[in-house]
Amino acid sequence: MAQRPRIVALDIIDTVFRIDALGPAVAAHGLAASDAETLYAGMLRDAMALSLAGSYAPLPEVMAGALGQLRAKRGLPPSDPAREAVAEAMKQLPPHDDAGACFRTLKDAGFRVHALSNGAASATEGLIERAGFAGFFDGVHSVELARRYKPQRSAYMSAVEQMRTEPGDVMLVATHAWDCHGAKQIGMPTGFVRRGQPWPAHFDAPDVAGETLRDVAEAIAAL
């Protein structure tokens, strides 16, 4: 059985806030609403490639580049209005329905709750405040300080150091298996939010898993 952590650090984009909500903004300028997931995957691909190459660019720039590539693949020209619409929609992503219940469960069980995002700290704080979740969080951390995107080890270690603790005291919760695997490489326990996804056998297994955020929070509280 996994040891009980002192801190739970949640990934933000897609784990807490719904990336599929980009659909209307994407569709308003020539793409399909379903292209939101493709756009997000392209952004992650390029962010990870930057880190592998030892360089860095802010996430909005990476998203803008991924959008331009996707539009070109669909036979569409570059579009400043499309870029601006997506950038604005990213600031207004709604939370998953059970996010509040997840946070309440964790706080009631005595955990410190932190955010650990590939997005900028200011953008993450904006999403959290807009959703009314600010009172649940003890800290917000961004990879921008490490200038490396998750799942690079330094992205996690930088956040752990800001928390003034050790990796084993911080459990990462994410809906991305690659994110959980990355955290495992520095000794962090992990919680996987499945949402219908199987766990890839080539990644180090999570310590807890559940179908929803609330399920994972309850499993952590039971440790």
* Three-state SS annotation for the chain: CCCCCCEEEECCECCCECHHHHHHHHHCCCCCCCHHHHHHHHHHHHHHHHHHCCCCCCHHHHHHHHHHHHHHHCCCCCCHHHHHHHHHHHCCCCECCCHHHHHHHHHHCCCEEEEEECCCHHHHHHHHHHCCCHHHCCEEEECCCCCCCCCCHHHHHHHHHHCCCCHHHEEEEECCHHHHHHHHCCCCCEEEECCCCCCCCCCCCCCEEECCHHHHHHHHHCC
Q: Domain 19-90 falls in which CATH fold?
A: DNA polymerase; domain 1 (1.10.150)
pLDDT of residue 108: 98
pLDDT of residue 2: 81
* Cross-sheet strand order for the sheet of 190-193: 139-142, 112-117, 7-10, 170-174, 190-193, 208-210
pLDDT tens, residue by residue, 177-209: 999 999 999 999 999 999 999 999 999 999 999
pLDDT tens, residue by residue, 17-29: 999 999 999 999 9
Which amino acid, one-letter code, is at 63?
M
- CATH 3.40.50.1000 domain extents, the chain: 7-17+94-221
Burial of 162 (0-12, 13-18, 19+ CB in 10 A): middle
User: Whole-model pTM?
Assistant: 0.96
pLDDT tens, residue by residue, 148-165: 999 999 999 999 999 999
The β-bridge partners of 173 are 10, 191
- CATH 1.10.150.240 domain extents, the chain: 19-90
Domain 7-17+94-221's class? alpha beta
What the block records as the tokens of 120 is 């900028």
Q: Answer whether 84's CB lies under 8 Å from 68's CB.
A: no
Average pLDDT, consecutive stretches of 10 residues, N- to C-terminus, the chain (223 residues):
92 98 96 97 98 97 98 96 97 98 98 98 98 98 98 98 98 98 98 97 98 98 97
